[in-house]
Amino acid sequence: MKKPFLTLILTFFYFLSFSQTDGITYQAVIIDNNPQEIPGVDIPSNNLPNTDLQVRFTIIDDGGNAEYQETQSTTTDPYGMINLVMGKGTPNIGAFNQVYWNNSKFLRVEIDLNNGDGMVEFSYQELTYIPYVRHREIVATSTLDVDGATNLNNNLTVNNQSPTYLTGDLTVDGLVAFDGPLEVGGDTQLYADLTVEGITNLNNSLNVNNGATTNLSGDLSVDGTSTFQDGVFRNITVNQSSNLNGQVTIDASLTGGQTSTAAYPLVVRGSDQGVIIQVNAGRNTGKNFVTFRDDFGIHGAIEGQTLSELHSSFRFIWDEAMAGLEQAFTLAEQIACGTQLDVAEAGVMLVNNFVLGAKWIELTVAAENNVGVSYESGGADYAEWLEKENHAETFAKGDIVGVKGGKISKTINDAHHIMVISTNPIVLGNMVKGNENHFEKVAFLGQVPVRVVGKVNVGDYILPSGNNDGTGIAVSPGNMKITDYQSILGVAWEASRNETFGYINVAIGINTNDIALKVLQQDKEIKDIKNKLDLILKKLNGETVEEDLNTDKTLITTKDKLSDKSMSSIKLTDAELEKWLTKYGYIFELSMNQLKENFKNRNVDLKQFPEVEAIVNNPIGTIRKMNSGEYLPTLWKSFGKRYPNTFKKE
């Protein structure tokens, strides 16, 4: 028998299967082109039954590129026919469901009969009509149910303003653009960018989970309430009232000078008023309205103050005690003028007078109570900005400076005032409007660290060193010269730790009487010298003198009065005082007992105020000390001047 030579005669057709099959059906009859020898005659082109073979399908686009290729193994039936579904084989190139059918396609069919010849091209022809193409452009006039995955390799367009409802999850790996409304009934997960060119309306919550960042490069307008658990906002404009219920921290990385608005993390503007700071419940010294701190701790505060706290302060307690004495003297003056009262009537009048006095005190305190805050700071001086005489001159904190015409310099010669550069002012006035480098903070009053050379004792005067280098020296009061007083900066309130150089705490602005005392002392010395000269002249003239030349004249000390403005003395003798106390003493005891009861009702601990405790618990003893001059003699004289009838001697 001759070796068979096969010619493959193909008849095939394909159509779209709308059931479970996703592909093109292919049928062909395999014809053996070698004649079959039988007795008497040869039969040409006989079918090739029950033969194993392989078929390779290749779909080629109009550019000649293989877009898809697959291989299938099959067996011819007894009549030489094969039945295959293109798209169900083993892919060699591409994927069948990704074939783009909207252009010309060509089909190449190759068959391998396993006879060693390999794949032999059977046919190559254009696919002129493929129902499968229509499967990719579905027009559904009713409901379209898709049980499996739906892959969109191109745009999804919803026309005629028809709504699209997604009741389940929508997973988008690429870019999605919505030109119209989008309503989502279920969860929507976006793994890539979502770009919305138009308005997006959220009628319910928007949750951004997993600590993911939400960046809004444009405006976000919120008409209702917005709750932010956390977030980073670069620029927010709020046109309506905003309620911030948690702690607000402004952590701004800003730099700049004091005059630069851009250097301040918080700017409040656009209204007639500024900022209201309201603490819970009432105010007291345990609540700070504003606290000033840095990385090293708290350095100052504006704290609350209540009437109750003022009532427990020494100032108020003292004022009440003085009011009690005042009311007692008022009643005593009425008695001295002829009013006859027994003890009960005096008590009633005293209570009424005391109530009037208490109301006066209450009005006085109310003025302070309306202020309601006190300023607490580590600073201890009042200072002002003063311009440098030479803008290039440099100063250190604690430098002693001379002031001439309101400008400062380290040169002390011919200075109008001697002052010092402040270290930490509690109040700083004369705010600079120009270049701050041309000014320095100069202390006017309070406690200031001063650069002092040499040993310093408490109470020493601090003077400029005379070297125009900003340093000072200490001079004890006993070693002061008359020319030194004009250069006094202040008084040392602490001793030096060594005898070389250091910062000394100096009280400035409070020694204005020192030079006056020195002048009085010298005036006293001049009068003594004049007196002695008069005595000598009288003796030389032969006159009789009664005073010895060596009469001791005590010089004025700091305890002497600068001027004789004291009131006339009303000192009573012991007998006169006892008679006076017999007549009026019970009034003072009644007044202090009433005051003591008021203190008790307010839980005032008088042991904290020994002076007041002495007056309240022992008014008679206090009056004796006042009369003898041991305690507040000026106050005793004041009472005598204002209530003369009470002290009129019989």
Average confidence (pLDDT) over 19-47: 68
Looking at the chain, the whole-number percentage of residues with pLDDT higher than 90 is: 16
* Two structure tokens written together for 513: 């009487």
The gap from C-alpha 186 to its chain's centroid, in whole angstroms, comes to 42
Q: Please compute the mean of the pLDDT values over residues 603-610 and round it to a whole number.
A: 84
Q: Mean of the per-residue pLDDT values for the chain?
A: 75
Instruction: Using alpha carbons only, give the angle 316, 319, 325 rounded to the nearest 5 degrees.
Output: 145
Cβ(45)–Cβ(32) under 8 Å? Answer: yes
Model pTM greater than 0.85? Answer: no
C-alpha torsion 263→268→273→277, nearest 10: -100
Q: 539: part of which helix (H) or strand (E)?
A: helix 514-540
Whether pLDDT at 42 is above 90: no
pLDDT digits (tens, 9 = 90+) for 590-602: 888 988 888 888 8
* Residue corresponding to tokens 């367009």: 157
CATH level 3 topology of 24-135:
Immunoglobulin-like (2.60.40)
Mean pLDDT of 244-267: 83
* Range with lowest mean pLDDT among 91-100, 217-226, 247-256, 527-536: 217-226
Strand bridging mode 188-190 / 170-172: parallel
Asked whether 582 and 617 are in contact (CB, 8 A), the reply is no
List 109's β-bridge partners, or say none.
57, 123
pLDDT at 471 over 50: yes
Same fold, 24-135 and 395-510: no
- The predicted pLDDT at position 492 comes to 94
Average pLDDT (3-15) is 43
What pLDDT score does 74 carry?
94
Q: Are 490 and 475 in contact (CB under 8 A)?
A: no
Q: Which residues pair with 114 in a beta bridge?
A: none
pLDDT of res. 20: 46
Q: Transcribe 304-352 into DSSP letters.
A: E--HHHHHTSHHHHHHHHHHHHHHHHHHHHHHHTT----HHHHHHHHHH
Predicted confidence band at 60 (pLDDT cuts at 50, 70, 90)? Answer: very high
Q: How confident is the model at residue 43 (pLDDT cuts 50, 70, 90)?
A: low
Residue 111 CB coordination number (10 Å): 22
Residue 17 to residues 22, 135, 153, Cα–Cα distance (Å): 7, 10, 21
Closest-CA residue to 238 (of 250, 252, 254, 226) = 226
Confidence band (pLDDT; 50, 70, 90) for 640? confident
Q: What is the DSSP string of 552-582?
A: --PPP-TTS-SS--PPPP-PPPHHHHHHHHH
Measure the CA angle with vertex 78, ends 72 and 84; round to 5°: 25
d(CA 124, CA 109): 7
Contacts by 618-626, CB closer than 8 A, 24 or more apart: 619/325, 619/328, 619/585, 619/588, 619/589, 619/591, 619/592, 620/581, 620/585, 620/588, 620/589, 623/577, 623/581, 623/585, 623/588, 624/577
Domain boundaries along the sequence of the chain? 24-135, 277-308, 312-371+569-650, 395-510
Q: Which of 281-285, 380-384, 393-397, 429-433 has the lowest mean pLDDT?
A: 281-285
DSSP string, 518-534: HHHHHHHHHHHHHHHHH
Q: How far is the C-alpha of 584 from the C-alpha of 386, rounded, in Å?
A: 59
Predicted local distance difference test score (pLDDT) of residue 409: 96
Between 448 and 540, name the one with better pLDDT.
Answer: 448
CATH class held by domain 395-510: mainly beta
In which order are the strands placed within the sheet that holds 90-93?
Answer: 90-93, 66-75, 52-61, 105-112, 120-126
Phi, psi angle pair for 612, to nearest 5°: -70, -40
pLDDT at 134: 45
Return the structure tokens found at 478. 């006993």
- Going by C-beta distance under 8 Å and a sequence separation of 6 or more, which residues neighbour residue 94? 66, 67, 68, 69
